[in-house]
Structure 1
Amino acid sequence: MPTSILRTPDAAFADLPGYAFAPHYLSDLPGYLGLRLHYLDEGPEDAPIWLCLHGQPSWSYLYRKMIPLLVAAGQRVIAPDLYGFGKSDKPESEGSYSFDFHREALLRFMERLEMRGVTLVCQDWGGLLGLTLPLAAPERFSRLLVMNTALGTGDIPLGEGFLAWRAYANAHPDLDVAGLFKRSCSQLSEVEAAAYVAPFPDASFQAGSRAFPNLVPDQPDAPGAELSRRARVWWQNEWTGQTLMAVGQRDPVLGEGAMASLRSVIRGCPPPLLLPDAGHFVQEDAGEQVARAALSAFGLVPAGS
Protein backbone atom coordinates (compact mmCIF):
# COMPACT_ATOMS: atom_id res chain seq x y z
CA MET A 1 0.00 0.00 0.00
CA PRO A 2 1.23 3.52 -0.75
CA THR A 3 2.12 5.41 2.43
CA SER A 4 1.09 8.91 1.33
CA ILE A 5 -2.45 9.12 -0.03
CA LEU A 6 -4.35 12.22 -1.10
CA ARG A 7 -8.13 12.56 -1.27
CA THR A 8 -9.72 15.40 -3.22
CA PRO A 9 -12.21 17.28 -0.99
CA ASP A 10 -15.84 16.59 -1.83
CA ALA A 11 -16.41 20.31 -2.25
CA ALA A 12 -14.31 20.24 -5.41
CA PHE A 13 -17.04 18.19 -7.09
CA ALA A 14 -20.03 20.33 -6.14
CA ASP A 15 -22.47 21.28 -8.90
CA LEU A 16 -20.56 19.80 -11.82
CA PRO A 17 -22.61 20.22 -15.02
CA GLY A 18 -24.31 17.04 -16.18
CA TYR A 19 -22.94 14.95 -13.32
CA ALA A 20 -25.79 14.49 -10.85
CA PHE A 21 -24.94 10.84 -10.21
CA ALA A 22 -24.80 9.28 -6.75
CA PRO A 23 -21.27 8.39 -5.62
CA HIS A 24 -20.35 4.87 -4.52
CA TYR A 25 -17.17 3.91 -2.69
CA LEU A 26 -15.18 0.79 -1.85
CA SER A 27 -12.28 0.74 0.59
CA ASP A 28 -11.94 -3.00 1.08
CA LEU A 29 -10.64 -4.35 -2.23
CA PRO A 30 -8.16 -7.17 -1.52
CA GLY A 31 -4.66 -5.78 -1.86
CA TYR A 32 -5.96 -2.20 -1.70
CA LEU A 33 -7.45 -2.09 1.81
CA GLY A 34 -8.03 1.44 2.99
CA LEU A 35 -7.52 2.92 -0.47
CA ARG A 36 -10.89 4.33 -1.48
CA LEU A 37 -12.21 3.68 -4.98
CA HIS A 38 -15.10 5.74 -6.34
CA TYR A 39 -17.52 4.50 -8.97
CA LEU A 40 -20.86 5.30 -10.53
CA ASP A 41 -23.56 2.63 -10.54
CA GLU A 42 -26.65 3.66 -12.48
CA GLY A 43 -29.61 1.61 -13.65
CA PRO A 44 -31.37 -1.54 -12.40
CA GLU A 45 -29.21 -3.81 -10.25
CA ASP A 46 -30.20 -6.90 -12.24
CA ALA A 47 -29.73 -5.32 -15.69
CA PRO A 48 -26.89 -6.06 -18.14
CA ILE A 49 -23.72 -4.25 -17.05
CA TRP A 50 -21.74 -1.74 -19.09
CA LEU A 51 -18.32 -1.31 -17.48
CA CYS A 52 -17.05 2.10 -18.63
CA LEU A 53 -13.31 2.68 -18.25
CA HIS A 54 -11.65 6.07 -18.66
CA GLY A 55 -8.07 7.06 -19.43
CA GLN A 56 -5.72 9.97 -18.82
CA PRO A 57 -6.31 12.63 -17.52
CA SER A 58 -10.07 12.03 -17.45
CA TRP A 59 -12.41 10.31 -14.99
CA SER A 60 -15.99 9.03 -14.89
CA TYR A 61 -17.21 12.52 -15.80
CA LEU A 62 -16.25 11.53 -19.35
CA TYR A 63 -19.25 9.18 -19.54
CA ARG A 64 -21.94 11.60 -18.35
CA LYS A 65 -23.45 11.96 -21.86
CA MET A 66 -23.67 8.21 -22.48
CA ILE A 67 -24.98 7.05 -19.11
CA PRO A 68 -28.54 8.44 -19.33
CA LEU A 69 -29.14 6.88 -22.76
CA LEU A 70 -27.85 3.48 -21.65
CA VAL A 71 -29.90 3.54 -18.45
CA ALA A 72 -33.02 4.61 -20.39
CA ALA A 73 -32.53 1.47 -22.48
CA GLY A 74 -32.67 -0.67 -19.35
CA GLN A 75 -28.95 -1.13 -18.89
CA ARG A 76 -26.81 -0.84 -15.75
CA VAL A 77 -23.75 1.40 -16.09
CA ILE A 78 -20.76 1.05 -13.77
CA ALA A 79 -18.00 3.62 -14.24
CA PRO A 80 -15.08 3.54 -11.81
CA ASP A 81 -12.47 6.23 -11.30
CA LEU A 82 -9.04 4.63 -11.47
CA TYR A 83 -6.87 5.26 -8.45
CA GLY A 84 -5.22 8.64 -8.94
CA PHE A 85 -8.22 10.05 -10.80
CA GLY A 86 -11.67 11.50 -10.18
CA LYS A 87 -13.08 10.93 -6.71
CA SER A 88 -10.84 7.94 -6.01
CA ASP A 89 -7.87 8.21 -3.66
CA LYS A 90 -4.58 9.37 -5.11
CA PRO A 91 -1.23 7.94 -3.97
CA GLU A 92 1.14 10.89 -3.99
CA SER A 93 4.18 9.04 -5.36
CA GLU A 94 4.36 8.33 -9.08
CA GLY A 95 6.18 5.12 -8.21
CA SER A 96 3.01 3.79 -6.61
CA TYR A 97 1.42 3.42 -10.03
CA SER A 98 2.09 0.57 -12.42
CA PHE A 99 0.33 -1.39 -15.12
CA ASP A 100 -0.35 -4.22 -12.67
CA PHE A 101 -1.44 -1.82 -9.90
CA HIS A 102 -4.32 -0.56 -12.05
CA ARG A 103 -5.17 -3.86 -13.74
CA GLU A 104 -5.36 -5.86 -10.52
CA ALA A 105 -7.57 -3.18 -8.97
CA LEU A 106 -10.01 -3.50 -11.88
CA LEU A 107 -10.05 -7.28 -11.56
CA ARG A 108 -10.70 -7.08 -7.80
CA PHE A 109 -13.40 -4.48 -8.46
CA MET A 110 -15.19 -6.76 -10.92
CA GLU A 111 -14.99 -9.66 -8.47
CA ARG A 112 -16.27 -7.53 -5.61
CA LEU A 113 -19.35 -6.48 -7.60
CA GLU A 114 -19.78 -10.00 -9.03
CA MET A 115 -20.01 -8.72 -12.59
CA ARG A 116 -21.29 -11.03 -15.32
CA GLY A 117 -22.43 -10.49 -18.91
CA VAL A 118 -20.37 -7.31 -19.10
CA THR A 119 -20.17 -4.92 -22.03
CA LEU A 120 -16.61 -3.61 -21.80
CA VAL A 121 -16.53 0.08 -22.77
CA CYS A 122 -13.01 1.41 -23.11
CA GLN A 123 -10.96 4.28 -24.49
CA ASP A 124 -7.36 5.44 -24.02
CA TRP A 125 -5.89 3.74 -20.90
CA GLY A 126 -9.30 2.21 -20.34
CA GLY A 127 -8.44 0.02 -23.33
CA LEU A 128 -4.75 -0.54 -22.58
CA LEU A 129 -5.88 -2.00 -19.26
CA GLY A 130 -9.39 -3.16 -20.07
CA LEU A 131 -8.52 -5.19 -23.14
CA THR A 132 -6.31 -7.41 -20.95
CA LEU A 133 -9.01 -8.17 -18.38
CA PRO A 134 -10.68 -11.07 -20.26
CA LEU A 135 -7.48 -13.08 -19.94
CA ALA A 136 -8.19 -13.42 -16.23
CA ALA A 137 -11.97 -13.71 -16.42
CA PRO A 138 -13.26 -14.43 -19.94
CA GLU A 139 -16.59 -15.65 -18.60
CA ARG A 140 -17.46 -12.16 -17.37
CA PHE A 141 -17.55 -10.47 -20.81
CA SER A 142 -20.22 -10.54 -23.51
CA ARG A 143 -19.75 -7.38 -25.59
CA LEU A 144 -17.10 -4.81 -26.45
CA LEU A 145 -17.47 -1.11 -27.24
CA VAL A 146 -13.98 0.15 -28.03
CA MET A 147 -12.93 3.72 -28.84
CA ASN A 148 -9.53 5.27 -29.65
CA THR A 149 -7.21 3.00 -27.74
CA ALA A 150 -4.64 0.25 -28.28
CA LEU A 151 -2.98 -2.81 -26.83
CA GLY A 152 0.44 -2.04 -25.35
CA THR A 153 2.25 -5.07 -26.73
CA GLY A 154 5.74 -3.53 -26.78
CA ASP A 155 6.62 -5.13 -30.11
CA ILE A 156 5.27 -2.32 -32.31
CA PRO A 157 7.10 1.05 -32.32
CA LEU A 158 5.17 3.82 -30.62
CA GLY A 159 3.96 6.47 -33.04
CA GLU A 160 5.42 9.95 -33.31
CA GLY A 161 2.17 11.41 -32.02
CA PHE A 162 2.37 9.45 -28.80
CA LEU A 163 6.08 10.15 -28.34
CA ALA A 164 5.35 13.86 -28.68
CA TRP A 165 2.53 13.59 -26.14
CA ARG A 166 4.75 11.71 -23.68
CA ALA A 167 7.49 14.32 -24.02
CA TYR A 168 4.97 17.12 -23.50
CA ALA A 169 3.42 15.44 -20.44
CA ASN A 170 6.85 14.83 -18.90
CA ALA A 171 7.78 18.48 -19.45
CA HIS A 172 4.55 19.72 -17.79
CA PRO A 173 4.20 17.99 -14.40
CA ASP A 174 1.36 20.38 -13.51
CA LEU A 175 -0.65 19.56 -16.62
CA ASP A 176 -3.16 22.16 -17.83
CA VAL A 177 -6.02 19.67 -17.87
CA ALA A 178 -8.73 22.21 -18.75
CA GLY A 179 -6.63 23.56 -21.61
CA LEU A 180 -6.00 20.06 -22.91
CA PHE A 181 -9.71 19.27 -23.03
CA LYS A 182 -10.59 22.61 -24.58
CA ARG A 183 -8.04 22.06 -27.36
CA SER A 184 -9.31 18.54 -28.04
CA CYS A 185 -13.04 19.24 -27.55
CA SER A 186 -13.73 22.76 -28.78
CA GLN A 187 -17.43 22.54 -27.93
CA LEU A 188 -16.73 22.17 -24.19
CA SER A 189 -17.93 25.03 -22.03
CA GLU A 190 -15.58 26.59 -19.49
CA VAL A 191 -17.41 24.93 -16.61
CA GLU A 192 -17.26 21.52 -18.30
CA ALA A 193 -13.54 21.89 -18.92
CA ALA A 194 -13.12 22.95 -15.29
CA ALA A 195 -14.88 19.74 -14.20
CA TYR A 196 -11.93 17.77 -15.53
CA VAL A 197 -9.64 19.80 -13.26
CA ALA A 198 -11.79 19.21 -10.16
CA PRO A 199 -9.91 16.04 -9.07
CA PHE A 200 -6.56 17.89 -9.08
CA PRO A 201 -6.50 20.84 -6.63
CA ASP A 202 -2.76 21.15 -7.25
CA ALA A 203 0.09 19.30 -8.95
CA SER A 204 0.60 16.92 -6.01
CA PHE A 205 -2.74 15.28 -6.91
CA GLN A 206 -1.60 14.55 -10.49
CA ALA A 207 0.92 11.75 -9.79
CA GLY A 208 -1.31 9.10 -11.37
CA SER A 209 -1.81 11.20 -14.47
CA ARG A 210 1.92 11.97 -14.73
CA ALA A 211 2.76 8.27 -14.44
CA PHE A 212 0.56 7.01 -17.27
CA PRO A 213 2.51 8.17 -20.37
CA ASN A 214 5.61 6.41 -19.05
CA LEU A 215 3.69 3.21 -18.29
CA VAL A 216 2.74 2.55 -21.93
CA PRO A 217 4.76 -0.57 -22.79
CA ASP A 218 7.41 0.51 -25.32
CA GLN A 219 9.63 -2.58 -25.28
CA PRO A 220 8.83 -6.31 -25.44
CA ASP A 221 9.96 -6.76 -21.83
CA ALA A 222 8.21 -3.67 -20.43
CA PRO A 223 5.67 -4.28 -17.65
CA GLY A 224 2.33 -5.22 -19.22
CA ALA A 225 3.77 -5.97 -22.68
CA GLU A 226 3.80 -9.76 -22.49
CA LEU A 227 0.33 -9.72 -20.94
CA SER A 228 -0.91 -7.47 -23.74
CA ARG A 229 0.56 -9.79 -26.37
CA ARG A 230 -1.34 -12.69 -24.80
CA ALA A 231 -4.47 -10.53 -24.83
CA ARG A 232 -3.92 -9.87 -28.53
CA VAL A 233 -3.91 -13.61 -29.20
CA TRP A 234 -7.03 -14.03 -27.07
CA TRP A 235 -8.96 -11.37 -28.97
CA GLN A 236 -7.81 -12.89 -32.27
CA ASN A 237 -8.73 -16.47 -31.46
CA GLU A 238 -11.07 -16.70 -28.47
CA TRP A 239 -13.43 -13.72 -28.54
CA THR A 240 -16.97 -14.66 -29.60
CA GLY A 241 -18.94 -11.68 -28.30
CA GLN A 242 -20.44 -8.69 -30.10
CA THR A 243 -18.20 -5.73 -30.90
CA LEU A 244 -18.64 -2.12 -31.93
CA MET A 245 -15.63 0.06 -32.67
CA ALA A 246 -16.11 3.83 -32.75
CA VAL A 247 -13.26 5.98 -34.05
CA GLY A 248 -12.73 9.68 -33.48
CA GLN A 249 -10.94 10.52 -36.71
CA ARG A 250 -9.45 13.79 -35.46
CA ASP A 251 -7.30 11.99 -32.89
CA PRO A 252 -3.63 12.54 -33.86
CA VAL A 253 -2.37 9.67 -31.69
CA LEU A 254 -4.97 6.89 -31.66
CA GLY A 255 -7.04 7.74 -34.70
CA GLU A 256 -8.18 5.77 -37.71
CA GLY A 257 -4.82 4.13 -38.51
CA ALA A 258 -4.20 2.90 -34.99
CA MET A 259 -7.76 1.65 -34.69
CA ALA A 260 -7.55 -0.20 -38.00
CA SER A 261 -4.58 -2.06 -36.56
CA LEU A 262 -6.54 -2.90 -33.41
CA ARG A 263 -9.58 -3.97 -35.43
CA SER A 264 -7.42 -6.51 -37.27
CA VAL A 265 -6.80 -8.39 -34.02
CA ILE A 266 -10.38 -8.40 -32.69
CA ARG A 267 -12.15 -11.46 -34.01
CA GLY A 268 -15.36 -10.63 -35.83
CA CYS A 269 -15.03 -6.86 -35.41
CA PRO A 270 -17.30 -5.23 -38.02
CA PRO A 271 -16.39 -2.04 -39.89
CA PRO A 272 -16.04 0.80 -37.40
CA LEU A 273 -18.33 3.72 -36.76
CA LEU A 274 -16.22 6.56 -38.14
CA LEU A 275 -16.68 9.95 -36.47
CA PRO A 276 -15.09 12.69 -38.59
CA ASP A 277 -15.90 15.44 -36.07
CA ALA A 278 -14.65 13.56 -33.00
CA GLY A 279 -11.16 13.55 -31.56
CA HIS A 280 -9.44 11.48 -28.91
CA PHE A 281 -12.16 11.95 -26.29
CA VAL A 282 -14.94 10.32 -28.28
CA GLN A 283 -17.29 10.27 -25.30
CA GLU A 284 -17.21 14.08 -25.18
CA ASP A 285 -17.45 14.72 -28.90
CA ALA A 286 -20.00 12.04 -29.83
CA GLY A 287 -21.11 10.29 -26.65
CA GLU A 288 -24.82 10.26 -27.40
CA GLN A 289 -24.26 9.07 -30.98
CA VAL A 290 -21.98 6.26 -29.86
CA ALA A 291 -24.38 5.14 -27.12
CA ARG A 292 -27.27 4.95 -29.57
CA ALA A 293 -25.16 3.13 -32.15
CA ALA A 294 -24.00 0.58 -29.57
CA LEU A 295 -27.52 -0.11 -28.31
CA SER A 296 -28.63 -0.63 -31.90
CA ALA A 297 -25.65 -2.79 -32.87
CA PHE A 298 -26.15 -5.00 -29.83
CA GLY A 299 -29.91 -5.31 -30.34
CA LEU A 300 -30.76 -3.44 -27.13
CA VAL A 301 -32.80 -0.54 -28.52
CA PRO A 302 -36.00 -0.16 -26.46
CA ALA A 303 -39.32 -0.71 -28.16
CA GLY A 304 -40.58 2.45 -29.85
CA SER A 305 -37.12 4.03 -30.20
Structure 2
Amino acid sequence: MTALRTPDDRFGDLAGFPFPPNYVDDLPGYEGLRAHYLDLGPRDAGRTFLCLHGEPTCVAPDFFGFGRSDKPIEDSAYTFPFHRTFLLRLVERLALGTITLVVQDWGGTLGLTLPVDAAFRSALDRLFVMNTSLPVGEPLGPHFHEWRSQVRNTPELPVGQWIRDSAPGLTDAEVAAYDAPFPDGRFQAGARTFPGLAMVEPEMDGVAESRAALEFWTEEWSGDSFMAIGANDPDVEAVEALRGHIRGCPAPLVLGDAGHFVPEAGERVARAALRSFGDL
Protein backbone atom coordinates (compact mmCIF):
# COMPACT_ATOMS: atom_id res chain seq x y z
CA MET A 1 0.00 0.00 0.00
CA THR A 2 1.49 3.31 -1.10
CA ALA A 3 1.17 6.02 1.55
CA LEU A 4 2.33 9.56 2.17
CA ARG A 5 3.69 10.92 5.44
CA THR A 6 3.09 14.56 6.29
CA PRO A 7 6.45 16.27 6.93
CA ASP A 8 7.11 16.93 10.61
CA ASP A 9 7.69 20.62 10.03
CA ARG A 10 3.99 21.01 9.22
CA PHE A 11 3.34 20.38 12.94
CA GLY A 12 6.25 22.39 14.31
CA ASP A 13 4.43 25.49 15.48
CA LEU A 14 0.79 24.63 16.14
CA ALA A 15 -0.88 27.21 18.39
CA GLY A 16 -1.78 25.77 21.79
CA PHE A 17 -0.67 22.26 20.83
CA PRO A 18 2.65 21.43 22.53
CA PHE A 19 1.94 17.71 22.89
CA PRO A 20 4.69 15.18 22.05
CA PRO A 21 3.84 12.65 19.34
CA ASN A 22 3.73 8.88 19.80
CA TYR A 23 3.85 6.35 16.98
CA VAL A 24 3.14 2.68 16.43
CA ASP A 25 4.09 0.88 13.22
CA ASP A 26 3.64 -2.79 14.08
CA LEU A 27 -0.12 -3.26 14.14
CA PRO A 28 -1.13 -6.65 12.65
CA GLY A 29 -2.59 -6.10 9.20
CA TYR A 30 -1.16 -2.57 8.92
CA GLU A 31 2.46 -3.43 8.21
CA GLY A 32 4.33 -0.53 6.65
CA LEU A 33 1.90 2.08 7.99
CA ARG A 34 2.77 4.33 10.92
CA ALA A 35 -0.06 5.54 13.15
CA HIS A 36 0.17 8.53 15.45
CA TYR A 37 -1.54 8.98 18.81
CA LEU A 38 -1.34 11.28 21.81
CA ASP A 39 -0.87 9.70 25.23
CA LEU A 40 -1.25 12.32 27.94
CA GLY A 41 -1.78 12.53 31.67
CA PRO A 42 -0.69 10.53 34.73
CA ARG A 43 -0.02 6.84 34.25
CA ASP A 44 -1.59 6.00 37.61
CA ALA A 45 -4.96 7.67 36.94
CA GLY A 46 -6.75 4.32 36.89
CA ARG A 47 -8.68 4.97 33.69
CA THR A 48 -8.11 5.96 30.06
CA PHE A 49 -10.02 8.48 27.98
CA LEU A 50 -9.94 7.14 24.42
CA CYS A 51 -10.75 10.17 22.24
CA LEU A 52 -11.82 9.41 18.69
CA HIS A 53 -12.07 12.36 16.31
CA GLY A 54 -13.33 13.41 13.94
CA GLU A 55 -8.27 14.11 29.87
CA PRO A 56 -6.97 13.22 32.63
CA THR A 57 -5.30 10.28 30.88
CA CYS A 58 -6.09 10.62 27.22
CA VAL A 59 -5.18 8.45 24.26
CA ALA A 60 -6.18 10.26 21.08
CA PRO A 61 -5.27 8.45 17.83
CA ASP A 62 -5.22 9.98 14.38
CA PHE A 63 -7.08 7.72 11.95
CA PHE A 64 -5.00 6.72 8.96
CA GLY A 65 -5.32 9.54 6.45
CA PHE A 66 -5.44 12.21 9.16
CA GLY A 67 -3.16 14.16 11.49
CA ARG A 68 0.36 12.72 11.83
CA SER A 69 -0.69 9.20 10.80
CA ASP A 70 0.34 7.87 7.39
CA LYS A 71 -1.98 8.61 4.48
CA PRO A 72 -2.57 5.90 1.86
CA ILE A 73 -2.99 7.69 -1.46
CA GLU A 74 -5.67 5.46 -3.00
CA ASP A 75 -9.27 6.21 -2.03
CA SER A 76 -10.00 2.47 -2.22
CA ALA A 77 -7.69 1.82 0.74
CA TYR A 78 -10.16 3.48 3.09
CA THR A 79 -13.03 1.23 4.13
CA PHE A 80 -15.13 0.86 7.24
CA PRO A 81 -13.27 -2.35 8.28
CA PHE A 82 -9.90 -0.67 7.60
CA HIS A 83 -10.62 2.11 10.10
CA ARG A 84 -12.54 0.03 12.66
CA THR A 85 -9.99 -2.80 12.83
CA PHE A 86 -7.22 -0.22 13.25
CA LEU A 87 -8.91 1.04 16.42
CA LEU A 88 -9.31 -2.48 17.83
CA ARG A 89 -5.68 -3.33 17.06
CA LEU A 90 -4.44 -0.09 18.64
CA VAL A 91 -6.44 -0.64 21.84
CA GLU A 92 -5.04 -4.16 22.00
CA ARG A 93 -1.47 -3.02 21.24
CA LEU A 94 -1.55 -0.33 23.96
CA ALA A 95 -3.33 -2.66 26.42
CA LEU A 96 -5.92 -0.01 27.26
CA GLY A 97 -8.41 -0.67 30.04
CA THR A 98 -11.09 1.08 32.09
CA ILE A 99 -11.88 3.10 28.98
CA THR A 100 -14.03 6.19 28.83
CA LEU A 101 -14.94 6.22 25.15
CA VAL A 102 -15.05 9.81 23.83
CA VAL A 103 -16.54 10.11 20.34
CA GLN A 104 -17.58 12.78 17.84
CA ASP A 105 -18.55 12.63 14.16
CA TRP A 106 -16.85 9.60 12.52
CA GLY A 107 -15.27 8.84 15.86
CA GLY A 108 -18.78 7.87 16.94
CA THR A 109 -19.81 6.13 13.73
CA LEU A 110 -16.80 3.86 14.17
CA GLY A 111 -16.26 4.01 17.93
CA LEU A 112 -19.81 3.17 18.94
CA THR A 113 -19.42 -0.16 17.11
CA LEU A 114 -16.31 -1.21 19.03
CA PRO A 115 -18.20 -2.90 21.92
CA VAL A 116 -19.43 -5.50 19.43
CA ASP A 117 -15.92 -6.90 19.96
CA ALA A 118 -15.88 -8.79 23.27
CA ALA A 119 -12.36 -7.71 24.24
CA PHE A 120 -13.20 -4.04 23.82
CA ARG A 121 -16.51 -4.48 25.64
CA SER A 122 -14.69 -5.86 28.67
CA ALA A 123 -12.39 -2.79 28.71
CA LEU A 124 -15.19 -0.23 28.30
CA ASP A 125 -16.27 1.70 31.39
CA ARG A 126 -18.03 4.95 30.39
CA LEU A 127 -19.30 6.81 27.31
CA PHE A 128 -18.87 10.48 26.39
CA VAL A 129 -20.63 11.24 23.11
CA MET A 130 -20.81 14.45 21.07
CA ASN A 131 -22.48 15.22 17.73
CA THR A 132 -22.39 11.92 15.84
CA SER A 133 -24.64 9.19 14.47
CA LEU A 134 -24.74 5.41 14.13
CA PRO A 135 -26.03 4.67 10.59
CA VAL A 136 -27.68 1.25 10.21
CA GLY A 137 -28.21 1.03 6.46
CA GLU A 138 -30.90 3.67 6.12
CA PRO A 139 -30.75 7.18 4.55
CA LEU A 140 -29.52 10.01 6.73
CA GLY A 141 -30.89 13.55 6.58
CA PRO A 142 -30.72 15.79 3.50
CA HIS A 143 -27.83 17.82 4.92
CA PHE A 144 -25.63 14.73 5.07
CA HIS A 145 -26.29 13.88 1.42
CA GLU A 146 -25.55 17.47 0.40
CA TRP A 147 -22.31 17.30 2.39
CA ARG A 148 -21.31 13.99 0.78
CA SER A 149 -21.91 15.45 -2.68
CA GLN A 150 -19.92 18.58 -1.82
CA VAL A 151 -16.92 16.55 -0.68
CA ARG A 152 -17.11 14.29 -3.72
CA ASN A 153 -17.07 17.30 -6.05
CA THR A 154 -14.29 19.28 -4.36
CA PRO A 155 -10.86 18.24 -5.72
CA GLU A 156 -8.88 19.83 -2.85
CA LEU A 157 -10.76 20.14 0.45
CA PRO A 158 -10.50 23.47 2.34
CA VAL A 159 -10.47 21.56 5.64
CA GLY A 160 -9.72 24.44 8.01
CA GLN A 161 -12.23 26.79 6.42
CA TRP A 162 -14.98 24.18 6.50
CA ILE A 163 -14.44 23.71 10.23
CA ARG A 164 -14.42 27.48 10.72
CA ASP A 165 -17.80 27.60 8.95
CA SER A 166 -19.19 25.54 11.85
CA ALA A 167 -17.05 27.22 14.53
CA PRO A 168 -16.72 30.87 13.43
CA GLY A 169 -14.58 31.82 16.43
CA LEU A 170 -11.53 29.94 15.17
CA THR A 171 -8.40 32.03 14.76
CA ASP A 172 -6.31 31.97 11.60
CA ALA A 173 -3.68 29.96 13.49
CA GLU A 174 -6.28 27.36 14.49
CA VAL A 175 -7.54 27.11 10.92
CA ALA A 176 -3.94 26.59 9.79
CA ALA A 177 -3.57 23.80 12.36
CA TYR A 178 -6.53 21.94 10.85
CA ASP A 179 -4.90 22.31 7.43
CA ALA A 180 -1.45 21.22 8.64
CA PRO A 181 -1.83 17.46 7.93
CA PHE A 182 -2.69 18.13 4.28
CA PRO A 183 0.05 19.90 2.27
CA ASP A 184 -2.02 19.33 -0.87
CA GLY A 185 -4.86 17.24 -2.25
CA ARG A 186 -2.74 14.10 -2.55
CA PHE A 187 -2.83 13.81 1.26
CA GLN A 188 -6.63 14.04 1.48
CA ALA A 189 -7.81 10.61 0.34
CA GLY A 190 -8.90 9.73 3.89
CA ALA A 191 -10.86 12.95 4.30
CA ARG A 192 -12.44 12.55 0.86
CA THR A 193 -13.66 9.02 1.49
CA PHE A 194 -15.23 9.26 4.96
CA PRO A 195 -18.61 10.67 3.80
CA GLY A 196 -18.98 7.91 1.23
CA LEU A 197 -18.42 5.22 3.86
CA ALA A 198 -21.45 6.21 5.97
CA MET A 199 -23.77 3.22 6.06
CA VAL A 200 -26.84 4.62 4.29
CA GLU A 201 -27.70 1.49 2.29
CA PRO A 202 -28.37 -1.96 3.78
CA GLU A 203 -25.62 -3.80 1.87
CA MET A 204 -22.78 -1.46 2.91
CA ASP A 205 -19.80 -2.45 5.05
CA GLY A 206 -20.44 -1.68 8.69
CA VAL A 207 -24.21 -2.18 8.73
CA ALA A 208 -24.03 -5.49 10.58
CA GLU A 209 -21.67 -4.04 13.20
CA SER A 210 -23.81 -0.92 13.60
CA ARG A 211 -27.01 -2.90 14.09
CA ALA A 212 -25.31 -5.12 16.66
CA ALA A 213 -23.92 -2.01 18.37
CA LEU A 214 -27.35 -0.38 18.48
CA GLU A 215 -28.68 -3.45 20.24
CA PHE A 216 -25.79 -3.35 22.72
CA TRP A 217 -26.24 0.33 23.60
CA THR A 218 -30.03 -0.03 23.85
CA GLU A 219 -30.31 -3.34 25.71
CA GLU A 220 -27.02 -4.18 27.41
CA TRP A 221 -25.16 -0.98 28.26
CA SER A 222 -25.12 -0.25 31.99
CA GLY A 223 -22.26 2.23 32.38
CA ASP A 224 -22.35 5.98 32.92
CA SER A 225 -22.96 8.17 29.87
CA PHE A 226 -22.66 11.85 29.03
CA MET A 227 -23.82 13.61 25.87
CA ALA A 228 -23.07 17.11 24.59
CA ILE A 229 -24.91 18.54 21.59
CA GLY A 230 -24.09 21.55 19.45
CA ALA A 231 -27.54 23.02 18.82
CA ASN A 232 -26.52 24.61 15.51
CA ASP A 233 -25.59 21.33 13.86
CA PRO A 234 -27.84 20.95 10.78
CA ASP A 235 -28.33 17.28 11.72
CA VAL A 236 -29.03 17.92 15.40
CA GLU A 237 -32.21 15.82 15.31
CA ALA A 238 -30.17 12.71 14.47
CA VAL A 239 -27.90 13.36 17.45
CA GLU A 240 -30.89 13.78 19.74
CA ALA A 241 -32.38 10.55 18.40
CA LEU A 242 -29.16 8.69 19.20
CA ARG A 243 -29.60 9.50 22.88
CA GLY A 244 -32.77 7.41 22.88
CA HIS A 245 -30.68 4.38 21.89
CA ILE A 246 -28.14 4.76 24.72
CA ARG A 247 -29.57 3.05 27.77
CA GLY A 248 -29.60 5.33 30.80
CA CYS A 249 -28.14 8.35 29.00
CA PRO A 250 -29.14 11.50 30.93
CA ALA A 251 -30.39 14.71 29.35
CA PRO A 252 -27.64 16.18 27.16
CA LEU A 253 -25.65 19.34 27.66
CA VAL A 254 -26.96 21.54 24.83
CA LEU A 255 -24.56 24.21 23.61
CA GLY A 256 -26.63 26.96 22.01
CA ASP A 257 -23.58 28.61 20.46
CA ALA A 258 -21.96 25.46 19.02
CA GLY A 259 -22.36 23.65 15.72
CA HIS A 260 -21.20 20.22 14.64
CA PHE A 261 -17.65 20.50 16.00
CA VAL A 262 -18.46 20.41 19.70
CA PRO A 263 -14.80 19.71 20.67
CA GLU A 264 -14.07 23.34 19.81
CA ALA A 265 -15.88 24.09 23.11
CA GLY A 266 -13.52 21.61 24.72
CA GLU A 267 -12.85 23.14 28.14
CA ARG A 268 -16.51 23.81 28.86
CA VAL A 269 -17.67 20.39 27.64
CA ALA A 270 -14.87 18.45 29.33
CA ARG A 271 -15.56 20.01 32.72
CA ALA A 272 -19.28 19.29 32.41
CA ALA A 273 -18.54 15.68 31.50
CA LEU A 274 -16.11 15.19 34.39
CA ARG A 275 -18.64 16.68 36.81
CA SER A 276 -21.29 14.33 35.47
CA PHE A 277 -18.97 11.34 35.94
CA GLY A 278 -18.06 12.50 39.45
CA ASP A 279 -14.41 13.15 38.57
CA LEU A 280 -14.63 16.83 39.61
If the TM-score is normalised by the length of the shorter chain, which range does it land in? over 0.9
Deviations 1:128-162 (A, max 9, x none): 0000001102111111000000102113x211000
The residue that corresponds to 1:248 in the other structure is: 230
CA distance in 2, matches of 1:181, 1:104: 27
Shift of 1:46: 2.8
The residue that corresponds to 2:81 in the other structure is: 100
Shift of 1:165: 0.3
The residue that corresponds to 1:120 in the other structure is: 101
What is the SS of the residue equivalent to 1:240?
coil
The residue that corresponds to 1:148 in the other structure is: 131
Unaligned runs of 5+ in 2: none
Pairs aligned (count) = 277
**RMSD of aligned C-alpha atoms?**
0.8
Q: How does 1:17-166 map to 2 (within 5 A)?
A: 17-47=15-45, 48-55=47-54, 70=55, 75-136=56-117, 137-155=120-138, 157-166=139-148
CA distance in 2, matches of 1:290, 1:49: 17
Which has the higher mean CA deviation after the structures are superposed, 121-130 or 134-143? 134-143
Q: How does 1:271-290 map to 2 (within 5 A)?
A: 271-284=251-264, 286-290=265-269
Shift of 1:7: 0.1
What percent identity do the matched residue pairs reach? 53
Shift of 1:176: 0.8
Deviations 1:181-204 (A, max 9, x none): 221111100011010000000000
The residue that corresponds to 1:58 in the other structure is: none
What is the SS of the residue equivalent to 1:148?
coil
What is the SS of the residue equivalent to 2:226?
strand
Q: Does 1:267 align with 2:267?
A: no
Q: Does 1:203 align with 2:202?
A: no
Shift of 1:92: 0.2
Segments of 4+ moved more than 2 angstroms: none
CA distance in 1, matches of 2:26, 2:44: 23
The one-letter code sitting in structure 2 at the alignment partner of 1:292 is R
CA distance in 2, matches of 1:300, 1:225: 35
Shift of 1:173: 2.4
CA distance in 2, matches of 1:144, 1:135: 15
Unaligned runs of 5+ in 1: 56-69
Deviations 1:242-297 (A, max 9, x none): 000000011113x1x1122101110001111111101110011x211110011100
What is the SS of the residue equivalent to 1:196?
helix
The residue that corresponds to 1:180 in the other structure is: 162
What is the SS of the residue equivalent to 2:156?
coil
Deviations 1:194-218 (A, max 9, x none): 1000000000000000010100011
Shift of 1:179: 1.4
CA distance in 1, matches of 2:217, 2:20: 34
Q: What is the TM-score of this pair, normalised by structure 2?
A: 0.97
CA distance in 2, matches of 1:198, 1:124: 20
Q: Does 1:295 align with 2:274?
A: yes
What is the SS of the residue equivalent to 1:95?
helix
Q: What is the TM-score of this pair, normalised by structure 1?
A: 0.90
